Chains A and B, each alone.
Chain A
């Protein structure tokens, strides 16, 4: 067990039995360099100050913690929203990317490689690259390019190269595979800016540390400790960052997955994309394609630390359907004047269901991370009107 809940991983990048560095030999040295640089940087007050400066002046942090008054009234609970939708570029992804982009410059890399599903990580990467004078190459599944067209335009506007991925399910899983393949041939001048708490060590740990700002801010903004802390989980970066701020409190941690991409709730132990974790697999051990209305949750696995938190019983992982998520978008829009991303709407959909079912007793306090805004989803959402 880790010395501190959600502290540094154990030896060899382990979170319990999960994690590790299952990378092809050609990437092992690059991963080691990333780890070494991150350890130095994270202990360097100068690096921390520079990141804090960018987070404040460029990304607009801290984001507010908004009491959702009218929705709380409807649900009979007291709901607070950590507003990552108000961070620059429209989601929490910018927190991690600014950290990794600074690391890349510290390592002398001049280009960022990224995978993206919903396009939010791709947009954040393109943004950080423009800000720091780096190049950016973003791999994105062909199917996601269609359904998140707005973000593709944004990335290109920001000067990034968007590479369509036509293999497999043509979504986030395949974009990640393609980004890894590309990185093998580009380690000398490029940094792979992984967008979630997945991948080989040190990524799951490093990305959680860069996202910890969500949980740390929320902890400070909320007086006391909420009964429940809730976030959506694809790979699980906004959830990891949120949970990190409350892991040492009695708050119940709930990760909400898409019904069709429930790695933590329904996955089995395996190895994919550089780490040992929980993945949806068939009877032969082949990875099963995920299916979700939310491109950012369309991933058949979950970060290794979430798998560990699940096994420990420290966090629990639940699922909601596409329909529940879509209805949650509309409910939040009409009660609070906030259009959430379909990903974030999954977390909300669970809160709504749990409040109705009495799983959240009347008057409970719930802090939920609203990981991103819904502009990118308008083409999917217009069907609902």
Chain B
């Protein structure tokens, strides 16, 4: 097993620094190539106070995504999205001052091979990676390559993950631990699942790595509540539903600003 203090990359460094300064971490998501000028959303995310930005590399069969991200993936693919094209778009961007984290399904990683895939991410300025259908016991070949290229491979932990395995996930994850708030797919929910608090508590017991809660978080109230348990939140479907409904970068920035404020208020609240 790798020493957890070694091979921590830019994403984890950045998130730890902000977390340790008392900031609630915020990682909004956008599907790459979902619109012609999709990288404008990245600028909007940064302006709205994102601490990291998750960029989906769409896959034809997103088996862990609900309808919104499925639709966003289909839309992007219909526009000709590919790993190559999305990374090319990112390569042309000025530095946003916020680390970029790619997320995709393992088939797209294997297509180029883990080594070439990670190298391509780095060349495009992407420092982190999430692969939701790659559980820890299958992650060796990618984890080793990611570490060697300096990409933080963040692993997911679920409410169903038993204890010893949770410690292994927390130990081997880089960047942050992605805490899946509920037993379900991605997609907006009316309330934060009860399992979110419990899972976050369990992860905290085994690691001091930043813990981000994702899946279902879609309102300022939910973000505030999530912040009580975790270091921060990932917001995907709530953004993408707005984008699919035609919201431009300014609209999305305004929405994300409400989440940012909620996270900040919760940080200022007496604990």
Contacts and interface: CB of A to CB of B under 8 A. Distances in A.
Interface stretch (B3-11, B45-53, B55-63, B243-251): B55-63
A55 interface: no
Contact of A271 (B110, B165, B169): B110
A155 B228 CA distance: 47
B183 interface: yes
B120 interface: no
A342 interface: no
B19 to A, nearest CB: 23
Interface stretch (A22-30, A217-225, A332-340): A22-30
Given A29-B162, A184-B183, A284-B82, A20 B138 contact: yes
Interface stretch (A78-86, A173-181, A235-243): A173-181
- Most chain-B Cβ atoms within 10 A of its Cβ — which of A26, A271, A276, A281? A26
Interface residues of B, number: 42
Given A23-B135, A168-B61, A185 B83 contact: no
Interface in B85-142: 105-108, 110-112, 132-138
Nearest to B187: A181
A281 B65 CA distance: 20
B183 A273 contact: no
| Residue from B107, B132, B162 whose CB has the most chain A CB atoms within 10 Å | B107
Contacts of A273: 61, 63
A198 interface: no
What is the predominant secondary structure among interface residues of chain B facing chain A?
loop
B235 interface: no
Interface stretch (B22-30, B153-161, B204-212, B259-267): B153-161
Contacts of B138: 12, 20-22
B213 interface: no
B83 A284 contact: yes
B66 interface: yes
Main SS at interface, chain A: mixed
B3 to A, nearest CB: 23
A173 B63 CA distance: 11
A180 B65 CA distance: 10
Q: Which of A180, A270, A284 has the most CB of B within 10 A?
A: A284
B60 A184 contact: no
B111 A167 contact: no
A27 B184 CA distance: 10
Contacts of A187: 160, 183
A279 to B, nearest CB: 7
Nearest to B157: A25
Contact of B134 (A12, A22, A184): A22
Nearest to A180: B63
B84 interface: yes
A68 B130 CA distance: 55
A287 B180 contact: no
B185 interface: yes
Nearest to B117: A285
B161 A29 contact: yes
A271 B169 CA distance: 21
A281 B160 contact: no
Contacts of B108: 284-285
B77 interface: yes
B83 A285 contact: yes
B219 interface: no
Most buried by B among A20, A188, A270, A276: A270
A22 B137 CA distance: 9
B4 to A, nearest CB: 19
B183 A21 contact: no
Contacts of A352: none
Interface string A248-290: 0000000000000000000001111110100101001111000
A271 B180 contact: no
A286 B59 contact: yes
A25 B180 contact: yes
A24 B135 contact: yes
Given A22-B138, A181-B64, A285-B112, A279 B107 contact: yes
A28 B106 contact: no
Given A12-B138, A21-B138, A24-B133, 6 more contacts: A22-B133, A24-B132, A25-B161, A29-B160, A167-B70, A185-B184
11 contacts: A22-B133, A25-B132, A26-B160, A28-B160, A168-B61, A184-B184, A184-B185, A271-B105, A271-B107, A285-B59, A285-B107
Q: Which 8 A-B pairs have the closest CB atoms?
A: A285-B111, A284-B82, A26-B158, A286-B60, A25-B158, A185-B184, A29-B160, A270-B107
